[in-house]
Chains A and B, each alone.
Chain A
Amino acid sequence: MIFNTVKQLLIEKFGEAVIVAEEANQKQPALIIKSDLIVEVCFFLRDHPQTWFDFLPCLSGVDYGVEQQKFGVVYHLSSIIKNHQIVLKIITDNNRDEENLPTFKSISSVYKAAEWHEREAFDMLGIYFDNHPDLRRILLPDDWEGFPLRKDYKTAENYHNIKIDL
């Protein structure tokens, strides 16, 4: 199974510490990767002849709830040639302070597709990506306050003196 192959290959290449945890009992098993190594891991999985994950269909930022104080990014990788998929996750603790956004490394140097997805995660959840070529808001206006998909988001009352009425 591809999940075990990937796990084996990653441990061989980067050592035991690369896999923080795993969710193996799910329908779509996921590997939780050490977040510093995500770029190297993606590079390795993309170019390794056994895995060949050349396609990044989906990248989602996740807010794991107010009590959890955790933010994560979920990568769905897929291989067109080999026809298999893997889910990678990176998770970090964060105290929801706007001065201190959860920060990960950008994988847009590996998959260009990640560029806009990461901008969306920044826009919606306030997850900052280091080394991103063009990280600014994508769906919301540049001067929007706050990050709407955070679980503790409060709707603004005004936007440029336009009342926001729900």
Chain B
Amino acid sequence: MQNTLSQKYQDGLIAYQNKIKAVAAEEMVLNLGPQHPSTHGVLRLELITDGEIVKEVIPHIGYLHRCFEKHGEALNYAQIIPYTDRMDYLASMNNNHAYVMGVEKMLGIENDIPKRVEYIRVLVCELNRIASHLIAIGTYGIDIGAFTPFLWCFRDREHIMNMLEWASGARMLYNYIWVGGLFYDVPIGFEDRCKEFVAYFKPKMKELNELLTDNQIFISRTANIGVLPLDVAINYGCSGPMLRGSGLKYDLRRVDEYSVYPELDFEVAYAKAEVGSIGDCWNRYKVRIVEIEESLKIIEQCVEKLTKEHKRTKEFDPRALCPKKITPKAQDFYIRAENPKGEVGFYFIADGRSDKPFRIKSRGPSFCNLSVLPEISKNVMIADLVAIIGSLDIVLGEVDR
């Protein structure tokens, strides 16, 4: 398969095709995916295997490509928000938040946003972070043969989905955080429901830890598997739990101190040598577990603020600051924020004349996190490869955009 492009620009493709042709007699090319549950979506991996040993992994992505960037050039800034939902569809709120912060900073209105709006944004983002991590943990369990945690995680996630549906009207793709404000104020009684959820969920986390985190079978499957050294992680642009799982205490919520995160008290989770070695699958998993607990802390603090200091008033209008027409000055701007998967970034080029971006590029954390897979899965067993893919926690909607 080649296109009409000049031969001199196709050397990469030809080299790849020759490599597949030249696979030695005792080796085998094995196709994993795209329709395979353990690849977490439509990821296709081409494995060059020697018996049970994986010699090389060649990821093929793009099965879920929906031209986010091309669409972005044809839509105005407010209309792009629903498209950001569909990037990392398990953490839509976080994507909305990052994108909206970028546009607000370009307009220069980021300091005018009312505190109540900011606290609601952080509250829904952290709820969504828990939901995303629950999927990561649940599906990771199922990848390596533990079925029960999957059901437990989805049961608990359903509570969050219901709450966010109550607030925004949609179950997964919210379009809730708008430039300059919010779609609506949270419904009456939302804060109490959050409190109830936290009280309900804390013991469930304990159960989950007993069932999975400290489970000897689980540890044997994940500890010392897929070790990602810190320097490799940084060089490959890994971020989020991948980077923290390699032992670096680096969280953009603390580094950039955006929104109201500086006012909130939480710890950054990172891998400590507990089981196995730092940077292995278990550590990446554990970072997510700790992050859920930290997110619960943040939710409690947000609810506290939203019921006392910044409580609901009749005059409060979350749309008061939403601009009718968004036309930023001519500029380039890159915004980054901490998504459950890592650093989500948007690069805007505004030409200053139109209400549409001249160019918008999105940096999906899963995209960079996935690119390290060929590096850390050399000479592993096929079953371990599945454990490694699960520990990356990729969302193909964001890899392919």
Q: Are A58 and B248 in contact (CB under 8 A)?
A: no
- Residues of A near B248 (CB, < 8 A) are 80
Q: Are B1 and A143 in contact (CB under 8 A)?
A: yes
Give A128 to B67 CA distance when docked, in angstroms.
20
- Residues of B near A60 (CB, < 8 A) are 347, 359, 361
Q: Are A111 and B237 in contact (CB under 8 A)?
A: yes
Give the nearest-CB partner of B1 in chain A: A143
A interface, over-half SS: loop
Give the nearest-CB partner of B400 in chain A: A139
Q: Which of B67, B334, B367, B400 has most chain A Cβ within 10 Å?
A: B334
Q: Which of A55, A101, A111, A145 has most chain B Cβ within 10 Å?
A: A55
Is the C-beta of B216 less than 8 angstroms from some C-beta in chain A?
no
Which of A11-19, A33-41, A112-120 is near enough to bind chain B? A112-120
Given contacts A57-B345, A124-B69, A148-B70, are A28 and B334 in contact (CB under 8 A)? yes
Give the nearest-CB partner of A55 in chain B: B234
State how many residues of chain A have any CB contact under 8 Å with chain B. Answer: 45
Is the C-beta of A26 less than 8 angstroms from some C-beta in chain B?
yes
Given contacts A57-B343, A138-B62, A143-B1, are A113 and B334 in contact (CB under 8 A)? no
Is the C-beta of B333 less than 8 angstroms from some C-beta in chain A?
yes
Give A21 to B358 CA distance when docked, in angstroms.
21
Give the nearest-CB partner of A115 in chain B: B371
Is the C-beta of B313 less than 8 angstroms from some C-beta in chain A?
no
Closest Cβ–Cβ distance, residue A109 to chain B (whole Å): 11
State how many residues of chain B have any CB contact under 8 Å with chain A. Answer: 50
Is the C-beta of B273 less than 8 angstroms from some C-beta in chain A?
no
Give A109 to B211 CA distance when docked, in angstroms.
44
Given contacts A27-B331, A57-B343, A134-B15, are A139 and B61 in contact (CB under 8 A)? yes
Give the nearest-CB partner of A146 in chain B: B3
- Residues of B near A98 (CB, < 8 A) are 4-6
Q: Which of A65, A74, A140 contacts B347 (CB 8 A)?
A: A74
Give A148 to B65 CA distance when docked, in angstroms.
12
Is the C-beta of B111 less than 8 angstroms from some C-beta in chain A?
no
- Residues of A near B20 (CB, < 8 A) are none
Q: Which of B69, B237, B333, B401 contacts A113 (CB 8 A)?
A: B237
Q: Which of B4, B9, B367 contacts A128 (CB 8 A)?
A: B9
Closest Cβ–Cβ distance, residue B104 to chain A (whole Å): 12
- Residues of A near B13 (CB, < 8 A) are 136-137, 142
Give A63 to B401 CA distance when docked, in angstroms.
19
Q: Are A27 and B333 in contact (CB under 8 A)?
A: yes
Give A115 to B345 CA distance when docked, in angstroms.
18
Q: Are A142 and B334 in contact (CB under 8 A)?
A: no
Q: Are B359 and A57 in contact (CB under 8 A)?
A: no
The contact string, 1 if C-beta is below 8 Å from chain B, for chain A 136-157, is 1111111111001100000000
Q: Are A56 and B237 in contact (CB under 8 A)?
A: yes
Jot down 24 A-B pairs with beta carbons below 8 A, ordered by A: A27-B331, A28-B334, A55-B237, A57-B237, A58-B334, A60-B347, A60-B361, A62-B349, A80-B234, A80-B248, A83-B255, A87-B334, A111-B237, A112-B237, A113-B235, A113-B236, A137-B13, A137-B62, A140-B65, A141-B1, A141-B62, A144-B3, A148-B67, A148-B70
The list of the 6 closest CB pairs from A to B, nearest first, reads A113-B237, A135-B12, A139-B62, A60-B361, A136-B12, A143-B1
